Amino acid sequence: MDSAIELRHLRYFVAVAEELHFSRAAKRLRIAQPPLSQQIRQLEQHIGHALFNRNSRTVALTHAGETLLELARHILKRLEEDVETVRRVGRGEMGSLTVGFIGSAMLTVLPAILGSYRMKYPQVELRLRELTTSRLVDAIRQGAVDIGFLRDAGPTDGLSVETILAEKYVVALPDSHPLAQRKKVPLIALKREPLVLFPRELGPLAWDKTIELCELAGFRPKIVQEAAEWLVVLRLVSSGLGISITPACVALIKGARVKMFFPEITKLSDSLLADQDDIVQKGLGWLLRETAKFDAKRTVPYLMTIRGRAPRLESSSTVVLLACRSFDTIHSRI
């Protein structure tokens, strides 16, 4: 088809072909009849064949006109669909989003957030990647991950970071341990206990905060075994290899013969792990309100964010963070 033919020629042609009356077609298009007739003649000149048989009483399609009508309808419909697709991508309703997370985040509200997001935006392809905090920060900086859920991330220069929630630490003991029968245990009572913990390189700040808790209580713990997964840590604790200090969400792991409790810690924050359903409902409520306020480039990153009031943070809290390179530009990856 000649490049001089424009979309308006096709729209005008379809209107005349469907009405088979120039006056009615002009009224439908909200233009005068003479310009419409001129555009149709121009289209016929570009094609090199008559599209209508006209006389003083009737207008009818030629064979060429019938063929063009079928093709023009397809072209205009496809264009309308493509434009709507672009609009949906701009609104963050289509595309892809690579979400990185640390394993323990799956024991918090993250599964509920992802599930709610999937229901609301089923045509967005969610790509999930489990990484350690250190590797996740690097992946976000390198653009391999769009948005990440971290724990106690440490230095995050160049990233935009939001606090999602704070939770207490808990102590994990074998259920056969003498202290497991007590209702309250000060942390100092564990000073001679061997500690099972994750390697520091997996999350330097989270590791440092765990050790700091013990030092605030007056002792330096002896780490006898390291394990990268919390399930493995609990299994080692249940076997009597030692104790562990974990985020409160780790208590959701079932099956290990382990007693878990909140220890008495100096300067402990008053903020407990918030009820997960309450956090999700607050987060979804915020999303519904804010989506109406922000334009696309501000809305998309927050679709994955909980914006309830963040708990008051102290050194004795472990925090889950949301991070990306920029809340203002992440929409370009969707």
CATH number of the domain at 21, please: 1.10.10.10
In percent, the amount of the chain with pLDDT more than 90 equals 35
Beta strands in 62-123 (DSSP E): 95-101
Q: What is the pLDDT of residue 331?
A: 44
Residue 264 has a pLDDT of 67
Three-state DSSP at 244 gives strand
Q: 155 and 39, same structural domain?
A: no
- Residue pair 203/229 in contact (Cβ under 8 Å)? The answer is no
> Secondary structure of the chain: what % helix, strand, coil (to 5)?
45, 20, 35
| Domain shared by 60 and 75, yes or no | yes
pLDDT at 27: 94
Residue that terminates a domain, selected from 261, 286, 316: 261
- Mean pLDDT over 235-263 rounds to 85
Please indicate, yes or no, if residue 2 is contained in any of the structural domains: no
Beta strands per DSSP E along the chain? 52-54, 59-61, 95-101, 124-130, 147-151, 160-174, 194-197, 222-226, 244-247, 258-261, 317-324
Q: What is the pLDDT of residues 20-69, one digit of tens each?
A: 999 999 999 999 999 999 999 999 999 999 999 998 889 999 999 999 99
Query: pLDDT: is 308 or 143 the higher one?
Result: 143
**Residue 333's pLDDT is what?**
41
The answer as to whether 325 is a domain residue is yes
Residue matched to tokens 């003479």: 34
- The rounded mean pLDDT for the chain is 78
Domain that holds residue 291: 95-165+273-333
Q: What is the mean pLDDT of residues 98-108?
A: 88
Q: What is the CATH number of the domain that holds 203?
A: 3.40.190.10
DSSP state of 256: S
Q: What is the rounded average pLDDT of the residues 97-109?
A: 87
Q: Tell me how many domains the chain contains.
A: 3
Q: How confident is the model at residue 93 (pLDDT cuts 50, 70, 90)?
A: low
Span 79-91, average pLDDT: 80
pLDDT at position 283: 37
- Any alpha helices (H) in 182-295, and if so which ranges? 204-217, 230-238, 276-291
For range 287-302, the mean pLDDT = 33
Q: What is the pLDDT of residue 275?
A: 39
pLDDT digits (tens, 9 = 90+) for 141-193: 888 888 888 888 766 777 888 777 788 888 999 988 988 888 788 889 999 99
Mean pLDDT calculated for residue range 112-127 = 83
**Which of 107-116, 256-265, 298-307 is predicted most confidently?**
107-116
Q: Are residues 73 and 213 in the same domain?
A: no
Regarding whether 100 and 83 lie in a shared domain, the answer is no
The answer, yes or no, to whether residue 286 has pLDDT greater than 90, is: no
Q: CA-to-CA distance for 195 and 262, rounded, in angstroms?
A: 16
Residue partners of 64: CB distance under 8 A and separation at least 6: 47, 49, 50, 51
